[in-house]
Amino acid sequence: MDISSYKPYLSQETMMGPNSVRILAELFDKHPLQPAADDLILDLGCGTGLTSLVIAKETGAKVYANDLWISAEENGKRFAQWGVGKQITPICEDANHLHFEKKQFHALVSIDSYHYFAGREGFFQEKILPFMKDGGVVLIGIPGVKDAYTDRGEELLSDWLGEEAYMLKSPTHWEELIGSHDRIETVKTWEMDCFRKAWSEWFATNNVFACGDKQYFETIIEPYTCFVGIYVKLK
């Protein structure tokens, strides 16, 4: 995947954290999606729709772009401006209360959002699996703590993240949370390679939140955290 082709879409207005396009690119490089012409892909926690744009262009599939914080109207206008309005359907729903048909999606992608709503045992089986087709794929890229600091997130990250520090978990912990099910064939988790580049591209925006993160990069973010990649293949 050529990430440079998406550079014109990256801005203070569209980026909400470390470069989501770069995180998605690593997932696609490791585990390419190969949907059929009529397959649907759910982008869960799509933010301003950057990842939805990439999914649509890279796979050719129809995408449902869901986010709780950004309205469907706002994202719909952006998709129309980007020329993908007919390919992407914007939705604004809570990930705990999604209203899709059973086994509707060939793939689910979630970048920099899954940790906000899925950090409990049973969530994947209860809230994700019902909407996935047999043989489907789930790709997730989220901030987490390095495996060396498993179960120490709140202790190590609270100065940076405050009460949200508990959300960041290690690859090993996320593998345990995804858990097992008779429909799950494979679960893989890893510390992603794109960490430094994705953060540096976020800092380059000079977004006020980026500037806030930057002051903790050398003391907390780089020593203790990573991006967690998650790959789930269904039977």
Tell me the per-residue pLDDT of 28-67, one tens digit each, with 9 for 90 and over. Answer: 999 999 898 789 999 999 999 999 999 999 999 999 999 9
If DSSP codes are grouped into helix, strand and coil, which group holds residue 219? helix
Q: Locate the DSSP E strands across 71-202.
A: 88-91, 105-111, 132-145, 184-191
Pairing between β-strand 132-145 and β-strand 105-111 as defined by DSSP bridges: parallel
- Please list the residues that pair with 91 across neighbouring strands: 66
Average pLDDT on 114-129 reads: 97
If DSSP codes are grouped into helix, strand and coil, which group holds residue 98? coil
Sign (positive/negative) of CA torsion 158, 162, 164, 166?
positive
Q: Show me where the domains of the chain are located.
A: 3-234
Please say whether the structural domain 3-234 has been given the CATH code 3.40.30.10.
Answer: no
Q: Are the CB atoms for 85 and 79 separated by under 8 Å?
A: yes
pLDDT greater than 90 at residue 27: yes
For residues 72 and 88, give the distance between their C-alpha atoms in angstroms, rounded to a whole number.
11
